[in-house]
Structure 1
């Protein structure tokens, strides 16, 4: 547990990221978090925000272009592709190993409670859940796996997968890019990242809670 917390602390440090793989490390983390079972604890939202900050920093402008905005578009495209591929992998895993996903007991890498949350979310939202799930930690890891296990139409899955990736990556990375050079933001990064997670998850969670209450009153 301590090792996991320490790893998360490093992943939320822009300087550490740039010294240990740079934005290529972010690509790997995004792929793992959005479709590989063991990646449910990874911080996708903060990483995208920090990546936007890194790209906006003149002293740390990542290649391949000499100007910031072309680099922003380049890396957002790669981030989106990484998370799209992650979802495709998760869909394939769920379809191929549905007997494992649907089992009633826990395994060392698969917890029933995580699967159940993603399953309920998928049942309520259908295909749109694949897009919305990008903004929900843990759910974004298991939603494509559930879609594969339930045999969701692949074309439908692909559409919402690509749509969700573009919206998620584009909005949060761009936000980090715009706010990244503000000194107050850089000096209070921990609070900004916490607020970001609450901001992107609160609307969806509130809507789900109110919908559940409405259903219970019927």
Structure 2
């Protein structure tokens, strides 16, 4: 796993923007540390190492543009992939279309807060040819809530925890947050297995 603290110290704002764009828009970005990176960036802002406004602005923009990229990739290449792949059946596309017809807006917004899912959902939305206007609105809302909310949570945490403790336990704090962010995914997998 990539160390968010190292990434921010080494690549600063540019690294933050590129990682958020890749994680939210490129299918290969699913392994990148989005949530933990944003929490760490918020913690750094609380310490005065980074500007909170820059973090939020870059994150919202990169997340918004990343999802557009994922949507375009899905729209251009998704149907061909589903037609050729053995483990991706065409009926999955129809099931996804039905789901997006009834829950599309909520899915796009809530997927932002779930690792791996936030990488897949925009591509799937493009594959099923979700209405572009609907996609853009939900994309903007999700990018704003996630791109501002997660760094602000890190910033608030950084203001509560004394600097000496924060410096000593930053990796532990980020690790706990990272593990907690996977809980919804594990609960959903467990629920599906029971069915």
TM-score range, shorter chain: 0.7 to 0.9
Greater Cα shift, 35-44 or 176-185: 176-185
- Partner in structure 2 of residue 32 of structure 1: 22
- Partner in structure 2 of residue 67 of structure 1: none
Shift of 1:54: 1.6
Q: 5+ unaligned residues in a row in structure 1: which ranges? A: 63-70
- Partner in structure 2 of residue 52 of structure 1: 42
Structure 1, residues 59-88: CA drift from partner, whole Å, max 9, x if none? x2x4xxxxxxxx313320221011100000
**More relative contact order in 1 or in 2 (CA 8 Å, sep 6+)?**
2
Within the alignment, does 1:13 sit opposite 2:5 as a pair? yes
SS in structure 2 at match of 1:127: helix
C-alpha spacing 1:207/1:38, structure 2 compared with 1 (3 Å): closer
- Partner in structure 1 of residue 124 of structure 2: 146
Q: 5+ unaligned residues in a row in structure 2: which ranges? A: none
Which of the residues 171, 191, 198 maps onto 2:149? 171
- Partner in structure 1 of residue 175 of structure 2: 194
Larger proportion of helix: 2
TM-score, scaled to structure 2 = 0.80
Distance 2:105 2:21 in 1: 20
* Count of aligned positions: 186
Within the alignment, does 1:184 sit opposite 2:174 as a pair? no
C-alpha spacing 1:89/1:13, structure 2 compared with 1 (3 Å): same
Q: How does 1:16-165 map to 2 (within 5 A)?
A: 16-18=7-9, 20-58=10-48, 60=49, 62=50, 71-105=51-85, 123=99, 125-165=103-143
CA-atom RMSD in angstroms: 3.0
TM-score, scaled to structure 1 = 0.73
CA contact (8 A) 2:114 2:184 kept: no
